[in-house]
Structure 1
Amino acid sequence: TQPVWSGIRPLNDEDSTAERISFPSGGNASFELVSVNKAGIALPAHTLEYVLVKEEWDYHWYRLGSWRYEITRFDVATVEGGTLTTGSDGMNTFSFNGLEWGHYRVEVTDPGSGSLTSLRFHVGWWGNVGKQSATPDNVKLALERAMLEPGEEVQLHIEPPFDGRAQLVVATDRVVETRNIEVTTGGTNITLQPQASWGTEAHLLVTVYRPGTVTPGPARAIGVARVSIRHPEYSGEVKIESADKIEPNQTIEVRLKTRGLNPQARVTLAAVDEGILGLTRFSSPDPASHFFAKKQIGVALHDLYGHLLQFSEGELLKLHFGGDAALNSPTPLPPETFVKPLALFSGLVSVDEQGEAVIRLKIPQFNGRLRLMAVAFDDQRFASA
């Protein structure tokens, strides 16, 4: 238990009911300080040290049902420091004058015990509009379908938190299309048609702006959605033909039949103990899931809207989006076994003119179940089974 405790509260913030404390830019940020001992008795004439630190906030966005963000804070500079002495009632009032727009943290330390109390506050646009500031609000986006055929039209529903003008950006590893539209809180539908430049997937970024002439003031909101585009011209077929049951200590033949691949196609075949694959939760090779997997958005959003509003330095916001998956459940302990595991691989094998290949596998002494996994490809297409 600390022998000394100090408390800080704001005196003239613009809205004491707001989620965060805010003061007007260029004005006075006033605070009241109290210092007590561990019994809660005020300490008169008690000297404390204080420091005012300016912070920079970075927002890291992620999706968990809806778009959310986490804040990482960095100390930029020490603005002011010194000592404070409490009065006969154990309290003191102090203020900071002429602070420019930004995030700040005031810390008060008892030099004897080392106990520290801190309070964060903001100067400039913030308090009178709740969460508004450098933090963008969320625009809800809903696609009629998330998987499209090339050239197929789809409806995008845009539902912003306020009426305003929106900019739609279609992005892959670059910006491929932009569009400006008017949107309302009731929701706005627009029609999109994937182009060849969209590739196999694209991200739709919608930024909605509310002008400063509209009550309760200027704001902007951001939403992101992903659309996938099928490309059947990249896909072929491969089929595995083999006996359902085999005996150990012999050579077996496995026939692979391809379809939609050219005569120069090649195949691979793996035969692996199902027990090993179950322990490691191994998924059979699937080239499509690799080449068409969800990718991180290839462009960055640099938002200087706060700079335009605050007549001061704005904040740089960077949004990164990409694929993710639920955590796997714990891997079970391997069962006790006296059988040598088996894993066979054919290497690259060329197909014949009919698009078929016969692969011979030498099966040693083995008792269990094998999983056969085939991959086929040519210079433009791929397939798996």
Structure 2
Amino acid sequence: MKPNKNFKYDVLIETDDLCDRKLEQTDLLKRAKAKKRTIVFAPRRYGKTSLVKNVIGTAFFSLSRRHLVLFFDLMGVQSLESIAKRFHHGVSFALSQRFPVKTLLRDVGDYLRGLSLQVEMDSVTGQPSLSLISKTKEAKGEMLHFMETVKELSRKYPTMIILDEFPDITFVPEAEALFRSLLQELGDTAVFILGSKRHLLTLMFQDAHAPLFHYGDEVHLGPIPLQDWLVYFRERMKPKKILLHQEEMEWILETLCDVPNAICEFGAWLLENIAPGTTFTIGHLKQELDKMVESKQSYAYLLQSYTEKECGVMSALARQRFTLEPHSEMFLKLVNTSKSSVGKIMKKLLDRGLIEYELEKGYRISDPLLGHYLATR
């Protein structure tokens, strides 16, 4: 008997837990096999990392015993030293996943530029564990050693490289120039650049004066269709005989701005807190969403780190759900703040990932649940 399926959120999920994305899976795997350069854009909490790393990366890894997947999480990096640490983890994990220790020592060591392999016994598992030791302690030199190693490995093995939240490197001096050099030399390698901060991605890849102008092909993840969500929810609600109709599903998607992570978190709340045999109404869903958001104490703590004016701008954005013109006279009156101050606040919130910009819709709070919290204060 198969276990009941649950809603998963705030974690990387596997193929069976993804809602739809079949067309994207086919297209992205085809691009990986063809060694394409791909820039995957989607708002935060849209599941792009799960899709590219867990689904496409796993499929690519399974193509042969030589296929290698290098994943680097660059979210929140603040220095070359922090980037080097992410590369250390990414390269070490990829090599230990792909090759037995004997193979690493015999065949792979020659491709580690400026790095040495160190094998130790894990005290918990009793299995050998791998670590890489840089021959320099200087951050830029260490970073260059890891980049040279990535180049050498990609020449020797069929390789897929994933750079998650790549735009965050713009906050690190010298990082963009170093990555430009690396990326331009990966001519025969599948490269996937993931990002959620549209304003930074635009500067990096669409500005004619930018070092990475027109580097790769853009792929945008759009909203998941209503009917796919309806099937997904009903499958998980069925064991408790909870009924959800199309109108109520539409309300959930609209209220939560089509963001999969927020939708699944609300689904998990409903599954845990609703009595078996319930038939949902929109009024019932509103009550449950209010209860769920009120239970999240983290939002109050988060807002304490922002000024009164910044919170005022966020609250105004939340009440409107989408705002096309935050510099309009109407919006400025609403927040009682000058145009220049609003501009600075918007930039800060965009850089920190607190707000998103969606084409044709406008600006919104990145986390729709935080947006609901702000809108109901």
Decide: shared fold, TM above 0.5. no
TM-score by length of 2: 0.22
**Larger CA Rg, structure 1 vs 2:** 1
The TM-score normalised by the length of structure 1 is 0.21
More strand by share: 1
